[in-house]
Structure 1
Amino acid sequence: MKRLAVVSGKGGTGKTVVTGGFAACAARTMRLTMADCDVDAANLALLFDHTVRDSKPYFGMQCAAIDSSLCIECGICAEKCRFGAIHLEEDGYRVDPIECEGCGVCAHVCPAGAVSLRDFRHGEIFYSETGIGPLFHARLTPGSGTTGLLVTEVKQWALEVGGDADLLLIDGPPGIGCPLISTVTGCNAVLAVTEPSMSGLSDLGRLVRVCEGFPVRIFCAINRYDLEEGITAEIAAYCAEQDIPVLGLIPFDPAVPGAVRSRTPVTALDTPAGEAVRGVWERVRSELDLP
């Protein structure tokens, strides 16, 4: 199985639209498994009619909990909590699970043994069936800080159930933090989707520096390239300096938002953007020696 992650150094570059277009193309010639690793705002499932077949809770890090029957209300736990997660309420001390980092200091200092670390549900992982292959995605509880761990679990379930496919196609998260690192780990290649803006160029550079720490091939595609062709030229020059192949230039296309609303893959469009994304996919397919 080849593993390809479509990533971006910033949000709003069109990464998910490109991933959805790739998925529609790939499903015509190979067995496909998809994973949406943008778990803070997963939306790849919005592009396909899908049915949730299974789900499981995601617990992530443990959180502190106070047993009110043992608590002597000395306040030491609240005093020592550097994250301000423990508060005195009308019925005693309570832990805010959103603020708790699971460090365990409160349990260590409690003289009455009233504090312990317990499993806390931080989200949910879904296995869905689409018309082109299984899709694994997740919903993270707002405020939870265990995104990288959740990405890893999404990928593990995708490999357990859909590991006999020819391609694991991953819709990656924006940015360069832990979710990206978890996404890129174990991949054969990444396609960086960027846009012709100063922030797009800057964030592409940061993304490349992170990905260079992994044994992956790095490719690039420039979306909406014709909106600022001067910066597009700068991005192309940067990629040439870094020996990163630019696999295609995707023009701005007013038909794309309508296709997203109607759950039509961009590669099904007989428009400039549809043709360009099909071209990028064919180059990716050739570079990775896919069926």
Structure 2
Amino acid sequence: MKQLLILSGKGGTGKTTIASAFIKLAQAKAYADCDVDAPNLHLVMHPFPQEKASDYHGLDKAVINAEACTNCGICLDACRFHAIEKHETSHTVDPIACEGCTLCAYLCPQQAITMEKAKAGELKLFSNGDEHFSTATLLMGSGTTGMLVTKVKEQLKQVSDATEFAIIDGSPGIGCPVIASLTGVDLALIVAEPSVSGISDMKRIIETSAKLGVTIAVCVNKSDTNDELSSRIETFCWKEGIFFAGRIPFDPMAVRAVNEGKSVIEYSCDSGTAVRQVYDKTLQMLKETIRR
């Protein structure tokens, strides 16, 4: 299964809007939302008749046995995350603050502290015949986002390995979930924004992708909000030998589409036409990448 990943160096560039349009245009049978901190691809995808949910466990959390605890305070002094609280007769652990380092359990002279599994999120798999949508939601305060993203991709591959290719909506930024999203993909389309911060963040995600050996393409969304900076992005791509997939203009119809829970290509509008052109160029780039 070949993987097309859609990324952005920052939030708000329209990455998910473009990802949903690509899924509709490709009539994709396999796709995923790897923005596990704030997934929203499901808002523009049709309801699925089948849904499978499972708990995701990240790092184990410390739990103190109140009966065995002697209130010596060794764990309290040693915890650099300030996750342990002292009470009259024993100590307790704040599961949100606990990072699962196991130091308190190692130091406890009474062996009153154990490391136990804790729910850190929820994996979801939506299915409709041979069409599958994998996603997840990380619980507030939980970590190991990269591990959860890997689970999302593994879950999709297990049920869709025979599918020709999958479209993956990644996370903004360059952190752990983005790196996990990039692993094993065939092409990453970076959605850039024509702003000073947008260009800076675009360059960071390009550097990150390049270090992982992933082939890169770039498109500019809301391009006519700043023609000068859009041209600067396009020139940068040509100079760096990065495939430029095109420009998508700002379009109020895109806002309407999102508000109505639809894809922009379901309307006759300038942005929809431009997205189709970007899709065609990106798909051609993906085919050339696979042939190499």
AA partner of residue 233 (structure 2): I
What amino acid is the match of 2:22? F
The equivalent residue for 1:20 is 20
Aligned equivalent of 2:111 = 113
Pick aligned residue for 2:170 from 169, 172, 192: 172
Q: Secondary structure at the match of 1:212?
A: helix
Distance 1:89 1:235 in 2: 58
The share of aligned pairs that are identical, in percent, is 39
> Which residue number corresponds to residue 222 of structure 1?
220
Q: Answer yes or no: is the 8 Å Cα contact 1:220–1:246 preserved in 2.
A: yes
Q: 1:266 aligns with which of 234, 257, 264?
A: 264
Once the two structures are superposed, residues 138-197 of structure 1 have per-residue CA deviations (whole angstroms, 9 ceiling, x without a partner) of 111011121111101111101011121111110000000100000000000100001100
Matched with 1:249 is 247
Distance 1:91 1:171 in 2: 49
Structure 1 counterpart SS, 2:280:
helix
Which residue, out of 125, 128, 136, partners 1:127? 125
Pairwise CA RMSD? 1.5
SS in structure 2 at match of 1:46:
helix
Q: Establish whether residue 33 from structure 1 lines up as the match of residue 30 from structure 2.
A: yes
Pairs within 5 Å for 1:43-192? 43-51=40-48, 52-89=50-87, 92-129=90-127, 133-192=131-190
Q: Deviations over 1:64-109 (max 9, x none)?
A: 1111121111110011001101011356311111111111110111
Paired residue type of 1:16: T
Unaligned stretches of 5+ in structure 1? none
Query: Which residue type is aligned with residue 35 of structure 2?
Result: D
CA distance in 2 between counterparts of 1:171 and 1:203 reads: 17
Structure 1 counterpart of 2:202, from 201, 204, 212: 204
Normalised by the length of structure 2, the TM-score is 0.95
Q: Hey, what's the Cα distance between the residues in 2 that align with 1:75 and 1:161?
A: 49
- Checking the alignment, whether the CA contact within 8 Å between 2:70 and 2:90 is kept in structure 1 is no
Q: Deviations over 1:170-227 (max 9, x none)?
A: 0000000100000000000100001100000000010011000122210001000000
- Report the alpha carbon displacement of residue 129 of structure 1 after superposing the two structures with TM: 2.8
Tell which deviates more after alignment, 150-159 or 43-52: 43-52
269 and 165 in structure 1: CA distance in 2 versus 1, 3 angstrom threshold: same
Moved over 4 A (4+): none
Which moved further from structure 2: 221-230 or 49-58? 49-58
Cα distance change of structure 1 residues 8 and 132 upon mapping to structure 2, 3 Å threshold = farther
State the Cα distance separating 1:263 from its structure 2 match: 2.1
Distance 2:140 2:127 in 1: 25
- Number of positions where the alignment pairs a residue of Structure 1 with one of Structure 2: 287
Match of 1:7 in 2: 7
* Cα distance in 2, alignment partners of residues 141 and 7 from structure 1: 22
Query: In the alignment, is the contact (CA less than 8 A) between 1:247 and 1:283 conserved in 2?
Result: yes
Partner letter of residue 118 of structure 1? E
Provide the C-alpha distance between the structure 2 equivalents of 1:285 and 1:8, rounded to a whole number of angstroms. 18
CA shift at 1:270, angstroms? 1.1
